[in-house]
Amino acid sequence: MSASPVTLMVARRVADGRYQDLMAWLREGEQLATDFPGYLGSGVLAPPPGDNEFQIIFRFVDEQTLHAWEHSASRTAWLSRGSDLFAHPKEHRVSGIEGWFGTAGQRPPRWKQAVAIWLAFFPVSLIFNFLLGPLLGEISLLPRVLVSTACLTPLMVYLFIPLSTRLLANWLNSTPARRLPATPSTQHH
């Protein structure tokens, strides 16, 4: 049985006047992670307007490689160097695509997750095929699919699916209106 990739999501609120320092510190942390076996990628999601909480994402091949990085001396030193740049850190880890949709118990229904992924994938895939289809049409199926998935997967994982889930956040997190139970009519004798 193969292990699923694991994503560590960290939320950091920037201290007043420390934005540039925080950004440099985040880039340093991403660079440190690239040296670790099992590292798949990382990214920083900027806060929406009016907020100062950044989401930092680190993705590793499995729980074991993430654990090795989390408990490394270089990460500990990096966290110490940045401790005055932020307040109230929050961390949680997720496996697979679950990380795009929040924490357990707060995720939207699977059908909404599927719609959000499809709404990201369809236009990007269409544009990719429109622009590169004529070039790739000359090669056989296996290399054509290999090239297209190698190009599209990182774009989807790091850019378009997170963008889709942000744009659709209100809909993804909405709950259907509940009907009040019907009240029996008062009977007069």
Residue range 16-20: average pLDDT? 82
- Quote the mean pLDDT of the chain: 77
pLDDT at res. 159: 78
Q: Are strands 39-45 and 86-95 parallel, antiparallel or unpaired?
A: unpaired
CATH 3.40.50.2020 fits 6-101, yes or no: no
Among 13-17, 25-29, 100-104, whose mean pLDDT is lowest?
100-104
3-state secondary structure of 97: helix
| Higher pLDDT pick, 54 / 77 | 77
Query: Taking 80 as the threshold, does the pLDDT of residue 183 lie above it?
Result: no
- Number of other CB atoms surrounding residue 165 within 10 Å: 22
CB 36 within 8 A of CB 72: yes
Residue range 28-33: average pLDDT? 87
Q: Are strands 86-95 and 53-60 parallel, antiparallel or unpaired?
A: unpaired
pLDDT digits (tens, 9 = 90+) for 94-153: 555 555 666 555 677 778 888 888 888 888 888 888 888 888 888 888 888 888 888 887
* DSSP label at residue 179: P
Exposed, middle or buried: residue 37 (CB in 10 Å: 0-12, 13-18, 19+)? exposed
Residue range 45-57: average pLDDT? 77
Exposed, middle or buried: residue 50 (CB in 10 Å: 0-12, 13-18, 19+)? exposed
Show me where the domains of the chain are located: 6-101, 110-172
